[in-house]
């Protein structure tokens, strides 16, 4: 395996207290469990965009955190 087997990515800048730098759109990680944990604890700027963990050698998406769009106060049924 290479030194960067998993990529945490989004089409918008990622942010997390656990990431080494803020504002990047992707991070490379060696360990799958670490990549998924970091992605799960991360968010995007602007908020609500999708975050994915991709296995770099195969291109397989191993984790996807879907966008979270909260309904407006008057839109609840």
> Contact 33/55 with Cβ under 8 angstroms?
no
The one-character DSSP state at 62 is E
> Contact 28/53 with Cβ under 8 angstroms?
no
User: pTM for the whole thing?
Assistant: 0.78
Flag whether 73 is in a domain. no
Beta strand 14-15 with 6-9: parallel, antiparallel or unpaired?
unpaired
Flag whether 54 is in a domain. yes
φ/ψ (deg, to 5) at 76: -75, 140
Flag whether 11 is in a domain. yes
Report the number of secondary-structure helices (H) and strands (E) in the chain.
1, 6
Flag whether 74 is in a domain. no
For residue 58, give its domain range: 6-66
Q: How many domains does the chain contain in total?
A: 1
Flag whether 76 is in a domain. no
Output the tens digit of pLDDT for each of the chain's 77 residues.
457 899 999 999 998 888 877 788 999 999 999 999 999 999 888 888 999 999 999 999 999 998 766 555 555 54
Q: Report CA 71 to chain centroid distance, whole Å.
A: 22
């Amino acid at each position: 395996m290479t030194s960067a087997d998993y990529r945490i990515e989004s089409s918008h800048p990622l942010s997390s207290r656990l990431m080494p730098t803020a504002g990047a759109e992707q991070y490379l990680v060696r360990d799958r469990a670490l990549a998924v944990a970091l992605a799960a604890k991360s968010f995007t700027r602007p908020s609500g965009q999708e975050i994915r963990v991709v296995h770099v050698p195969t291109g397989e998406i191993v984790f996807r955190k879907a966008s979270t769009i909260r309904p407006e106060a008057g839109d609840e049924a």
